[in-house]
Amino acid sequence: MLDQGAPPHNGRPAAPPSPGLGARLMRRKPVERLVAEGGQGEGGSLRRSLGLWQLTMISIGATLGTGIFVVLGEAVPKAGPAVTLSFVIAGLTALFSALSYAELAGAIPVSGSSYSYAYATMGELIAWVCGWCLMLEYGVSVAAVAVGWGEYLNELLDGTIGVTIPAALSAPPGDGGVFNLPALIVVLLAMAFLMGGARESARANTVMVVVKIGALVLFCAIGVQGFRSGNYENFMPLGMAGVSAAGATLFFSYIGFDAASTAGEEAKNAQRDLPRAILLSLAIITALYVLVAAVAVGAKPWRQFTDSEATLAQIMREVTGQGFWGTLLAFCAVIAIASVVLTVLYGQTRILFAMARDGLVPKAFGKVSPKTGTPRTNTLIVSLFCGVLAAAIPLGQLADATSIGTLFAFALVNVAVVVLRRTRPDMPRTFRVPLSPVLPAVGFAFCLWMMGSLSAVTWVVFGVWMAAGLVFYFLYGHRRSRLAAPATPEAK
């Protein structure tokens, strides 16, 4: 009978016991490893070609236009003239989270955005949940904005050649149509740009951002001529509940700085430029949102706002009594909204790229074309999925689903910045959140408050989405995670 204290017969020490389930779910990816793997993919690497200007334009491109050109018509009936306050509240909520994003983007300049930040601070399961929320945030946002693009395209066609796309082919089921063909087309156009490379896509986006800013300034210059102070009487007709409900819907318009953080592995100097781009873009976006909303409500009684996504073009036509200005704005909006689709689709592909590199989603999403330095297979799959989603689901449902995914991810980022301060206090940071942990705690509370303002149906959709994500993680990602490999050191 063998002595229990004797060494194994082969002379080798016994293998250490495998970690339990809890330890595996909480395994963290070291920051140094995240940064060292930056840009690396299957078959090639991403190219660092983006400076501060391009990063800021990506952030503005992913944000500016969505809430104004597309969702304003749905938000005003919820809040009345106080929709301007809804934009301010949504902007403040975004600001608190943007401060946390800025610190983490400077400390961990990688493509995964809040997914990677959570992986480094709170463990794999929380990172997966965050990444799954980002899929909802980005994928559904692309679809939501693409729906609004079709509305403005019809306005443009009607004002120029007097023809519109039939409702059956320009609206999804439930909105009087069968298939939203324009929404699918704009996603495919964005896909074509992204296939060409990050630098080329950034150049196209910059041109489109300049056009959209010019269009909104033009709207304000003309819309203010129809301003009636009486439209602001009974400023908050639906109370604070209406203001917060509208703010929650509008919040999905503020995900632009998150898109900028997904460019961490293609930025020339990510640690310096990402924090600057995030905060600069948010300041520009919030100012324009509030100004345009104030002029729109002043020019048109809030009860007359409809759920049409081409609200601004209609106001221009009503104020001037001429179709030309509305048609011009519709033309600018077609370009502006296309830039939102382009940049948000870019962000979605880069997050999946990071998750594929970690083994949590299939390797196909991490393959990089040596010719263009882009994840082309990833881009193709995501574009087709988002295009079909945009063609088949009404805008309102898409916008609220995007908001809840965004808010949840932002809440986690506010936690992550505090955790990283505690666990890695000496890590170099190019930006630090002032008054931490107070401001991250305020940002976290704002996110929870706005999530509570969303409808029960949105929460049901979110619950189903999260349940499906957890099933996928335990059946696939948990087993294939690169941190699960025996030779891979885990974070302490």
**Residues 64-99: pLDDT tens digits?**
866 677 678 778 888 999 999 998 888 888 888 899
Q: At what angle do helices 181-196 and 124-160 cross, to 10 degrees?
A: 120
- Give the pLDDT of residue 136: 81
Q: Which residue has the higher pLDDT, 49 or 438?
A: 438
CA 170 to chain centroid, in Å, comes to: 25
The model's pTM: 0.81
Helix (H, G, I), strand (E, B), or coil: what is residue 263?
A: coil
Radius of gyration of the chain (CA): 23
pLDDT tens-digit series, residues 227-248: 998 899 889 988 988 898 888 7
Residue the block writes with tokens 């693409």: 146
- ∠ Cα 472 186 393 (to 5°): 50
**Averaged pLDDT, 120-139:** 89
> What percent of the chain stands above pLDDT 90?
26
Closest residue by Cα to residue 230 from 296, 289, 299: 299
With 50 as the cut, is the pLDDT of residue 122 above it?
yes
- Please return the burial class of 368, using the count of CB atoms within 10 Å of its CB with bins 0-12, 13-18 and 19+: buried
Split at pLDDT 50, 70, 90, the class of 398 is: low
The one-character DSSP state at 40 is E
With 80 as the cut, is the pLDDT of residue 112 above it?
yes
- In contact, 55 and 340? CB cutoff 8 Å: no
- Give the pLDDT of residue 123: 92
Longest Cα separation, the chain? 101
Rounded Cα gap, residues 412 and 485, in angstroms: 27
Contacts of 10 by beta carbon, 8 Å cutoff, 6+ apart: none
With 60 as the cut, is the pLDDT of residue 1 above it?
no
Structure tokens at 445: 């509370």
Structure tokens at 209: 């951002």
Rounded Cα gap, residues 130 and 400, in angstroms: 17
With 80 as the cut, is the pLDDT of residue 143 above it?
no
Rounded Cα gap, residues 218 and 103, in angstroms: 35
Contacts of 369 by beta carbon, 8 Å cutoff, 6+ apart: 43, 44, 375, 376
